[in-house]
Amino acid sequence: MSGASPAEYISHHIQNLTYGEYQDGTWGFAHTAQEAAQMGFVAINVDTMFWSLFTGILFCYLFRVAAANASIGKPSKWQLCVELVVEMVWGSVKDAFTGKNAIIAPLSLTIFVWIFLMNLMDLVPVDFIPYATQLAGLSHMKMVPTTDVNATFGMSLSIFALMIYYGIKMKGIGGFAAELAFHPFGKAFLPVNLILESVSMIAKPLSLSLRLFGNMFAGELVFVLIAALVPFYLQFILAVPWAIFHILVITLQAYIFMMLTIVYLGQAHEVHH
Amino acid sequence: MNMNLTLLGQAISFAIFVWFCLKYVWPPIIAALEAREAQIADGLASAEQGKHELENAEKRVKEILSDGKEKAQDLVSQAQKRADEIHERAKNEAVDEKVKIIASASAEIEQERNQALDGLRKQVGSLALQGAEQILMREIDEKSHRDVLNKLAGAL
């Protein structure tokens, strides 16, 4: 980005393309972080939505291709690759989830592959697509949906809802409330229990989304920093090792998100006596 | 770090993707995996069974072979025994025959000898009589001495 100072370059790269209502009542894309903040809740990060839908649809398409042509005797290479992932997910679910629920395994597969693909956008050089979209007139473009808290919270809150739903479904409202109120110290300490259990319950989706967001945001920021501060002909010295290391991070973060989802939903299914 | 409607958009798309995966991705792949697992298990089981059957067949072949050998041995020894018997019987018969032939031959010889002896005796008698006759011709009347001479011939 010629002409911009490193600070401007960096803050430009960590801002989403937000569409919402300006303070004067007209609608459009926010040009600055301040404008985006003023738009409030009724606004949408177009880049996050686009890339998350893109990766999600890519996941559905790629896996549907393998599933639709699934052959028992002569699997294609792609089918074997998909089976590898499916078996990994299935093994994790079998190990960590003791209840009976047909949704858990496909849910885990979706989480793992979708988050992996969204994280994978991090490996696309930071300026390739943003520069192209800027030429097309869009002021900002963040390609990695998981560096947007909205995306990670969108998933973790959905899982939180599932946790509450299955908690109530499996234990009944009374059982669910009793778990909140009578653990871990018994009936005499009801307020303490309530506070402790509520905090630990709310901490679950919070840690789930912030862990993913933090890791991916930090990773993206390092790429942006390298691009902002290092001359272009030397960037590869730092960017390549970081990218290779980042391959581990994006896989690991996808795996951790999936694994914790399984564990949390497993806890929601467990009936205490 | 602004929270906005993207949150809901994400949650909705998440739900749709999970539904799609649950409906169209997961079941066919798991079905294929399970079917393949079953096929492999079947294959292994039938291979095991085949091996087992082969072992049984080999055992049976061995049994049949040793049975056959035993039977052949039996047959040979029976034949041997039978041959020995036949041989023995033939020998015995031959010996019997020989004894019989010898006996009949010696009986015949005896008879012939007796006949010859008889003839000789008679001839000796008559020769002696003739000799005596001629010697006694002049001294003895034949008539009177015939009885004595006959007695003599009978005693010979």
Burial class (CB in 10 A: 0-12, 13-18, 19+), B45: exposed
Q: Is the pLDDT of residue A1 over 50?
A: no
Quick: pLDDT tens for A149-172: 999 999 999 999 999 999 999 888
22-61 in chain B: CB under 8 A from chain A: 22, 24-33, 35-36, 39
Quick: pLDDT tens for B72-105: 999 999 999 999 999 999 999 999 999 999 999 9
59-118 in chain A: CB under 8 A from chain B: 59-60, 63-64, 66-68, 70-73, 75, 79, 82-83, 86-87, 90, 102-103, 105-107, 109-110, 114
Copy the structure tokens of residue B66: 């040793």
Per-residue pLDDT band for B140 (boundaries 50, 70, 90) equals: low
Q: Is the pLDDT of residue B107 over 80?
A: yes
From the list A44, A75, A110, the residue facing B9 with the nearest CB is: A44
pLDDT at residue B121, as a whole number: 83
Copy the structure tokens of residue A245: 């290391």
Domain spans, chain A: 6-269
Mean pLDDT of all residues in A124-133: 85
Question: Could you tell me which chain A residue has the CA closest to the CA of B6?
Answer: A44
Quick: pLDDT tens for A33-51: 888 888 888 899 999 999 9
Strand partners, A20: A28, A43
Quick: pLDDT tens for A89-111: 999 999 999 888 889 999 999 99
Q: Is the pLDDT of residue A6 over 70?
A: yes
Q: Is the pLDDT of residue A183 over 80?
A: no
Q: Is the pLDDT of residue A133 over 50?
A: yes
With vertex at residue B99, the alpha carbon angle to CA B94 and CA B100, rounded to the nearest 5 degrees, is 95
Could you give the 3-state DSSP secondary structure of residue A31? Answer: coil
pLDDT at residue A3, as a whole number: 56
Q: How far is CA B133 from the centre of its chain?
A: 82
Peptide bond into A241 cis (omega under 30): no
Domain spans, chain B: 45-155
pLDDT at residue B142, as a whole number: 62
Q: Is the pLDDT of residue B135 over 80?
A: no
